[in-house]
Amino acid sequence: MTAIPSTPSRATFLLGFLLLAAAWILVADIGGLVNAILLPPLVDVLKRLGELILNGSLARDLGATMMRWAYGFTLGVTAGTLAGLFLGVMPRIYRIFEGVIEFFRALPGTAIFPLFLILFGIGDASKIALVFLPTFLLMLVNASYGVLHATPERRRALQAFGATPWQVFRHVVVFEALPQIFIGLRLALSLSLIVIVVSEMFIGTEVGIGQRIYDSYLTTAVTTLYAYLLVMGCLGYALNKACMMLERRCVFWVGRA
């Protein structure tokens, strides 16, 4: 397990974005070096983004996407973590299901789309289920791995103090598994965002970022497409950052102990 790398200074952090924006402006806005269908001017994209914010369509689409994602992600994290902790403390049962878990993990999320369409229909349920499954599996594998590879000496120490199995679980096992649970959480976060956007594109919906991106592609509304990509990039970045902050706060001892 490695230490969480330190964050760059605010100036260093902003410099990267400023350089990217400068390059974009230079190539697309000033130089006109690239066809606007491939890369529209940054100013036009920002203007379009402003319109989407003001007319409320961004909030509507973003809200719908996030609602579906939040349901699937929360359910997946909760169920996957609990199941993983349970299987971790029951290694015999874990070994029975290890092959089954690996089988489902090996299935590409997109390959399950048609099956979930049949099972859950074209409404929100299928999209939520599509987010739930990979999240659940990632959390299950990482939580159980965290428990199975916990330091045995700490458990034995607590047993020597007369701790019950539940006390060993509560005071040691959960904490020992936390770093690995957070690894699962960050992986699940990235994957679930991909899945929710792709599921909206593939299955279709009235409102949702994935649907808007796909519509923009079909109508060659490139500035709108870029505006939504900017939003999704910012959203993914913010969620990942929040997850890292939570990780630093919750597993502060990792890399130090």
Partner 1 sequence: MISFNHVRRVFGKNCVILDDVHFNVEEKSFVTLFGPNGCGKTTLMNMLCGTDHLTAGRIDGAEALQGQIGFVFQDYRRTLLPWRSGADNILLPLQLRGFSADAQRQRLDDLVRRLQPDFDLKQKIYTLSGGQAQMVSLMRALIIQPRLLILDEPFSALDYARTLSFRQLVMDIARDFGLTVLFISHDLEEALYLGDKVVFLTQKPTRVAEILPVPIPRPRQLTLFGSSDFAALKLRALEIFGRCAGDVLPLR
Q: Smallest distance from the beta carbon of 8 to partner 1, in angstroms?
A: 24
Which is closer to partner 1, CB of 158 or CB of 193? 158
Are the CB atoms for 38 and 189 separated by under 8 Å? no
Which is closer to partner 1, CB of 15 or CB of 157? 157
Q: How big, in percent rounded to 5, are the helix, strand and coil portions of the chain?
A: 80, 0, 20
Q: Would you count residue 257 as binding partner 1 (CB under 8 A)? A: yes
Q: Smallest distance from the beta carbon of 177 to partner 1, in angstroms?
A: 12
Among 112, 131, 137, 158, binds partner 1 (CB under 8 A): 158
Q: Would you count residue 165 as binding partner 1 (CB under 8 A)? A: no
Q: Would you count residue 47 as binding partner 1 (CB under 8 A)? A: no
The secondary structure of residue 173, as a DSSP letter, is I
Are the CB atoms for 131 and 68 separated by under 8 Å? yes
Q: Would you count residue 175 as binding partner 1 (CB under 8 A)? A: yes
Residue bearing tokens 């400068």? 22
Q: Smallest distance from the beta carbon of 160 to partner 1, in angstroms?
A: 5
With CB under 8 A as the contact rule, which of the stretches 19-27, 77-85, 155-163, 182-190 interacts with partner 1? 155-163
Q: Would you count residue 160 as binding partner 1 (CB under 8 A)? A: yes
Among 151, 237, 238, 241, binds partner 1 (CB under 8 A): 151
Q: Smallest distance from the beta carbon of 152 to partner 1, in angstroms?
A: 9
C-alpha triplet 234, 67, 47: angle, nearest 5°: 40
Q: Would you count residue 153 as binding partner 1 (CB under 8 A)? A: yes
Q: Would you count residue 202 as binding partner 1 (CB under 8 A)? A: no
Among 97, 154, 194, 229, binds partner 1 (CB under 8 A): 154
Residues 234-253 that bind partner 1 (CB under 8 A): 251-253
Residue bearing tokens 């630093």? 248
Among 53, 90, 101, 163, binds partner 1 (CB under 8 A): 163
Which is closer to partner 1, CB of 3 or CB of 38? 3
Q: Dihedral of the CA atoms 121, 194, 134, 203 (nearest 10)?
A: 10
Distances (CA, A) of 40 to 18, 37, 53, 220, 232: 18, 6, 19, 11, 18
Burial of 125 (0-12, 13-18, 19+ CB in 10 A): middle
| Residues 165, 187: Cα–Cα separation, whole Å | 30
| Residues 116, 72: Cα–Cα separation, whole Å | 14
The secondary structure of residue 153, as a DSSP letter, is H
| Residues 163, 172: Cα–Cα separation, whole Å | 11
Binding site residues, partner 1, CB under 8 A: 151, 153-154, 156-163, 167, 171-172, 175, 251-253, 256-257
